């Protein structure tokens, strides 16, 4: 059975946060999970590799990037959008 | 302690194939950043850089030399030649024993690496050129400069990422000041504009895809460049005795480590390095008229650097000028401090302050006089050059007009 986008994104975030997937709540922020800018860049890379997509993200201005990192939920939604657009 | 002066300078950058033309570019506020012309550029998401277009090593070196010289070595040798010619130094057998070379580079022979990884991994070849190792080694440029000018004293390479050149020049300064040597060729060289060199930086997501706009509110990252600069550092009495033209005096140097984060810059570590250079030079902050900023054009560097300068200089921060020439030639990584030192010499000698081009919107977090877009005439007696590297390694050099 293939994992949902949501499960895979949570797994990627959990790995960066060094937490169990069950501890990563949808409304959690990266800051709240203790993920710093390097961790975020690594998570973006993992997302690109996992889903074979290009994530529009510039660490110079995360807020201005088209990749919404407000919380876990918004990141999942963004990845779902990218996956749908890529037709993967 | 001995005094140390600069008696020659040479460079190559996207602004010009000499120190003279590079400084002309800085004076004119010329943009040396353009579309990259390299193999597989279509597979890169960052397609711009401060590339030395139209460069062909065969215009300067023989076939026998080229088989041993990676591009970063070629850049270093061309710069050293210009610097030595200007200095008028004749390295006698005696002097050669008291002369050396310290170069900075972050990547070394990356063209050689890139090309030969392609050969063995992509093309599946099982044989590489016999000189791959002597071409790619980090000390190749320093060694070839040493061989070309018979510099038989200390010769080595410093690799501290984006601060490599400043660490190298600082150590060369120490060598002469301590009396260990009389002459040092020093600076830095980098030629990272190859597919792998840019692809690696892309991964960090700190690169701009359109322009380097240091201190501007709409800045969106750094842009890589390539090139080199080499200076002749000479003991003051030695230079005076032979009637050499002195370009500037090196009066202080300090280095610190943030001991904090592998990529994020740190205001405290940067401020300690700036303060340390002032202390080493015996300067009051208000004597400094110009700072050549590290000014990478990333959000974090520029605001951290401005905060560090405010911290050190207090109210004088509003009077001094600070510009980033990376806006014109890009970030030469290990070679950057050397090329940027030209802007300090130009300020002290010619009274021309290089601008920060691409400046479009004021940023309250960078509210210093960044000499936006147009060079300025100003009398400056003391200049600093900042370099703050990944790894939290900071190196600041102080120069005075003479």
Backbone angles phi, psi at A50, to 5 degrees: -65, -45
Cβ contacts (< 8 Å) between B203 and chain A: which residues? 41, 45
pTM for this entry: 0.94
Judge whether residue B329 has pLDDT over 80: yes
Q: Is the pLDDT of residue B98 over 80?
A: yes
The answer to whether B221 contacts A60, with C-beta atoms less than 8 Å apart, is yes
| Residue A2 reports pLDDT greater than 80 | no
Mean pLDDT of B357-373: 98
User: Three-state SS for B352?
Assistant: strand
Question: Which tokens sit at B12?
Answer: 């190559």
Is residue A47 less than 8 Å (CB to CB) from chain B? no
**pLDDT above 80: residue B17:** yes
Alpha-carbon span B137 to B276, nearest angstrom: 32
Say whether B384 sits in a helix, a strand or coil. Answer: strand
Q: Residue A59: pLDDT above 90? A: no
Q: For residue A86, what is the DSSP state?
A: H
pLDDT computed for residue B127 by the predictor: 92
Instruction: For residue B212, indicate whether it is catalytic.
Output: no
pLDDT at B217: 97
Tell me which residue of B179, B173, B318, B327 sits closest to B255, measured CA to CA.
Answer: B173
Are the CB atoms for B214 and B356 separated by under 8 Å?
A: yes
Distance of alpha carbon B69 from alpha carbon B57, whole angstroms: 9
Contact A61 B220 (CB under 8 A): yes
Can you name the CATH fold of B253-400?
Answer: Peroxisomal Thiolase; Chain A, domain 1 (3.40.47)
**Mean pLDDT of the B108-128 span:** 96
Outline which parts of chain B fall under CATH 3.40.47.10.
4-241, 253-400
Q: How confident is the model at residue B295 (pLDDT cuts 50, 70, 90)?
A: very high
Instruction: Name the residue among B11, B80, B9 with its Cα closest to residue B349.
Output: B9
Contacts of A61 in chain B (CB under 8 A): 220, 299
Mean pLDDT of chain B: 98
What the block records as the tokens of A22 is: 């069950």
Q: How confident is the model at residue A25 (pLDDT cuts 50, 70, 90)?
A: very high
For the segment B19-28, the average pLDDT, to the nearest whole number, is: 98
Q: Considering only CB atoms, which chain B residues are within 8 Å of A59?
A: 204-206
What is the spatial distance between Cα B139 and Cα B156, in angstroms, rounded to a whole number?
6
| CA distance between the termini of chain B | 18
* 3-state SS, one letter per residue, for B237-277: HHHHHCCCCCCEEEEEEEEEECCCCCCCCCHHHHHHHHHHH
Query: How many of the other CB atoms lie within 10 Å of CB of B271?
Result: 22
By percentage, how much of chain A surpasses pLDDT 70? 97
B261 to chain A: closest CA residue: A38
Q: Is B298 on the interface with A (CB under 8 A)?
A: yes
Is residue A1 scored above 70 in pLDDT? no
A41–B204 CB contact, under 8 Å: yes
Kindly state the tokens that stand for B393. 């390694």
- Residue B91, class by beta-carbon neighbours within 10 Å (0-12 exposed, 13-18 middle, 19+ buried)? middle
8 A C-beta contact, residue B281 and residue B294: no
pLDDT in tens, B380-399: 999 999 999 999 999 999 99
Task: Say if residues B54 and B371 touch (Cβ distance below 8 Å).
Answer: no
Give the best residue of B201, B205, B295, B296 to mutate against chain A (max A CB count within 10 A).
Answer: B205
Does B203 contact A at CB distance below 8 Å?
yes
Q: Is B136 left (phi over 0), alpha (psi -120 to 50) or beta?
A: alpha
Q: What is the pLDDT of residue A63?
A: 72
**Is pLDDT above 90 for A3?**
no
How much is the pLDDT for B285? 98
* Cα(B162)–Cα(B142) distance, integer angstroms: 18
Task: Please name which of B402, B320, B389, B386 lies closest in space to residue B170, comparing C-alpha atoms.
Answer: B386
Please determine, for residue A21, whether its predicted confidence score (pLDDT) is greater than 70.
Answer: yes
Stretch B19-36: mean pLDDT: 98
Q: What is the mean pLDDT of residues B164-185?
A: 98
B331 is a catalytic site residue:
yes
CA–CA separation, B344 and B38 (whole Å): 31
How far from each other are the two terminal CA atoms of chain A, in whole angstroms? 16
Is position B111 annotated as part of the catalytic site? no
List the 18-77 stretch of B: residues with Cβ below 8 A of A: 45
Neighbours of B231 (CB within 10 A): 31
* Best CA proximity match to B344, nearest among B336, B353, B334: B353
Nearest to A38 among B45, B263, B299 (CB): B263
Per-state percent for chain A, helix, strand, coil, to nearest 5: 55, 0, 45
pLDDT tens digits, residue range B236-283?
Answer: 999 999 999 999 999 999 999 999 999 999 999 999 999 999 999 999
Q: What is the pLDDT of residues B44-86, one digit of tens each?
A: 999 999 999 999 999 999 999 999 999 999 999 999 999 999 9
Report yes or no: A37 at the B interface, CB cutoff 8 Å: yes
Q: What pLDDT is stored for residue A51 in this prediction?
A: 96
| For range B367-378, the mean pLDDT | 98
Query: All domains of chain A, ordered by start, with CATH?
Result: 5-86 (1.10.1200.10)
- Give the gap in angstroms from C-alpha A58 to the nearest C-alpha of chain B: 5
CA dihedral A86, A49, B114, B103 (to 10 degrees): 120
- Give the number of other Cβ atoms within 10 Å of residue B48's Cβ: 21
Distance from the Cα of A3 to chain B's closest Cα (Å) equals 26
Of the residues B238, B306, B331, B344, which is catalytic?
Answer: B331
- Minimal C-alpha gap between A61 and chain B (Å): 7
Which residue in B263, B288, B260 sits closest to B274, CA to CA? Answer: B288
Q: Does domain B4-241 have CATH number 3.40.47.10?
A: yes
Instruction: Dig out the tokens for B377 from the structure.
Output: 């005439």
């Amino acid at each position: 059975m293939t994992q949902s986008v949501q499960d895979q994104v949570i797994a990627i975030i959990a790995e960066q946060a060094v937490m169990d997937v069950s501890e990563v709540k949808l409304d959690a922020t990266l800051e709240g999970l203790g993920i710093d800018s390097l961790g975020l860049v690594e998570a973006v890379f993992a997302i690109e590799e996992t889903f074979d997509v290009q994530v529009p993200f510039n660490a110079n201005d995360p807020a201005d990037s088209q990749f919404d990192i407000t919380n876990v939920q918004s990141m999942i939604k963004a990845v779902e959008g990218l996956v749908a657009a890529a037709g993967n | 302690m001995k005094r140390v002066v600069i008696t020659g300078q040479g460079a190559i950058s996207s602004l010009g194939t000499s120190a003279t033309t590079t400084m002309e570019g800085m004076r004119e506020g010329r943009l040396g950043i353009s579309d990259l012309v390299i193999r597989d550029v279509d597979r890169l998401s960052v397609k711009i850089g401060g590339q030395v277009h139209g460069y062909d090593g065969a215009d300067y070196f023989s076939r026998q030399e080229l088989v041993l010289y990676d591009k970063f070595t070629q850049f270093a040798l061309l710069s050293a030649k210009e610097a030595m010619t200007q200095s008028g130094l004749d390295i006698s057998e005696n002097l050669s024993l008291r002369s050396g070379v310290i170069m900075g580079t972050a990547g070394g022979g990356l063209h050689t690496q890139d090309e030969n990884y392609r050969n063995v991994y992509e093309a599946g070849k099982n044989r590489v050129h016999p000189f791959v190792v002597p071409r790619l080694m980090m000390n190749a440029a320093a060694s070839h400069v040493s061989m070309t000018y018979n510099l038989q004293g200390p010769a080595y390479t410093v690799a501290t990422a984006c601060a490599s050149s400043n660490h190298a020049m600082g150590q060369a300064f120490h060598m002469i000041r301590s009396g260990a040597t009389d002459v040092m060729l020093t600076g830095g060289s980098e030629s990272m504009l190859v597919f792998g060199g840019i692809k690696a930086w892309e991964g960090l997501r700190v690169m701009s895809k359109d322009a380097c706009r240091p201190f501007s509110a709409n800045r969106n990252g750094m842009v890589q460049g390539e090139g080199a600069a080499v200076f002749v550092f000479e003991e003051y009495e030695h230079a005076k005795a032979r009637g050499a033209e002195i370009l500037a005096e090196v009066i202080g140097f300090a280095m610190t480590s943030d001991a904090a984060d592998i990529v994020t810059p740190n205001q405290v570590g940067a401020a300690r390095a700036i303060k340390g250079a002032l202390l080493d030079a015996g300067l009051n902050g208000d004597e400094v008229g110009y700072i050549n900023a590290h000014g990478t054009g990333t959000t974090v560097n520029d605001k951290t650097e401005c905060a560090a300068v405010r911290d050190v200089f207090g109210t004088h921060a509003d009077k001094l000028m600070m510009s980033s020439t990376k806006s014109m030639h890009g970030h030469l990584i290990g070679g950057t401090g050397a090329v940027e030192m030209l802007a300090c010499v130009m300020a002290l000698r010619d009274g021309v302050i290089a601008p920060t081009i691409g400046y479009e919107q004021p940023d309250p977090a960078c509210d210093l006089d960044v000499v936006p877009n147009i060079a300025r005439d100003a009398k400056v007696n003391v200049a600093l050059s900042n370099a703050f590297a990944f790894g939290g390694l900071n190196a600041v050099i102080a120069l005075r007009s003479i």
